[in-house]
Amino acid sequence: MSLATEKVGLLVFLSAITVLFTLLIISYNGRILLANDWRPMPDPWLLWVNTFALIMSSVAFQRTRQFARRGQIDGVRTGLLFSGGLAFAFLAGQLLASYQLVGLGYYASSNPANAFFYLLTGLHGVHLIGGLVAWGRANARVRRGYSAAQVFLSIELCAMYWHFLLFIWLILFTMMLVT
Q: What is the pLDDT of residue 153?
A: 96
CA distance 147 to 131: 21
Cα distance between residue 105 and residue 100, in whole Å: 9
Q: For residue 79, how far is the Cα from the chain centroid?
A: 17
Residue 150: what pLDDT? 96
The model's pTM: 0.93
At position 50, the amino acid (one-letter code) is N
Residue pLDDT, tens place only, 55-86: 999 999 999 999 999 999 999 999 999 999 99
Instruction: Check whether 2 has a pLDDT greater than 70.
Output: no
Residue 35 predicted with pLDDT over 80: no
pLDDT at 3 over 90: no
Alpha carbons within 13 A on the beta-carbon side of 58: 18
Selection from 33, 40, 10, 26 nearest residue 161 by Cα: 10
| Span 131-142, pLDDT tens digits | 999 999 999 999
Tens of pLDDT, residue by residue over 101-127, are 999 999 999 999 999 999 999 999 999
Closest CA to 114 of 176, 21, 178, 167: 176
Residue 1 in this model has a pLDDT that exceeds 60 = no
Does the pLDDT at position 93 exceed 70?
yes
Q: What is the 3-state secondary structure (H, E, C) of 113-165?
A: HHHHHHHHHHHHHHHHHHHHHHHHHHHHHHHCCCCHHHHHHHHHHHHHHHHHH
